[in-house]
Amino acid sequence: MGDNPNQSNTLEIEELSAEDLAIIASGLAALGEFFAFLSLIKAREVTRETGGVNEIIPTLLIQSRKKALKRKSRSARSRP
């Protein structure tokens, strides 16, 4: 089998075009919107089941409260 110098055995990897990236980005954005919609439906269900009382405190909210308390305590100590 003769080797043809014009043929290459290496694979060429094509770069994604701007149009390809835009399609991927719009797909991810649509997926994000879908999950946001599902979370709203779940929040409505929880509200109806509990009568508007939600005993769940998100972890991020707890962490942000702790950070706020630390900031307040530092600023109080730094003042003469």
68 falls within a domain: yes
Whether 2 is in a domain gets the answer: no
Domain contains 7:
no
Pairwise CA distance, residues 68 & 62, whole Å:
10
Domain with 62, as residue range(s), is: 18-78
Residue 28 within a domain: yes
User: What percentage of the chain carries pLDDT values higher than 70?
Assistant: 50
Residue 47 DSSP symbol: H
**Residue 25 pLDDT > 90, yes or no?**
yes
pLDDT at 73 > cutoff 70: no
Residue 36 lies in a domain: yes
Contact (Cβ atoms closer than 8 angstroms) between residue 47 and residue 54: yes
35 is a domain residue: yes
* Residue 8 pLDDT > 70: no
> What confidence score (pLDDT) does residue 28 get?
97
Higher pLDDT, 16 or 5: 16
In a domain, 9, yes or no: no
Question: How many domains does the chain fold into?
Answer: 1
Q: In this structure, is residue 10 part of a structural domain?
A: no
- CA–CA distance, 39 with 67 (Å, rounded to integer): 27
Please give the residue that has the higher pLDDT: either 50 or 61: 50
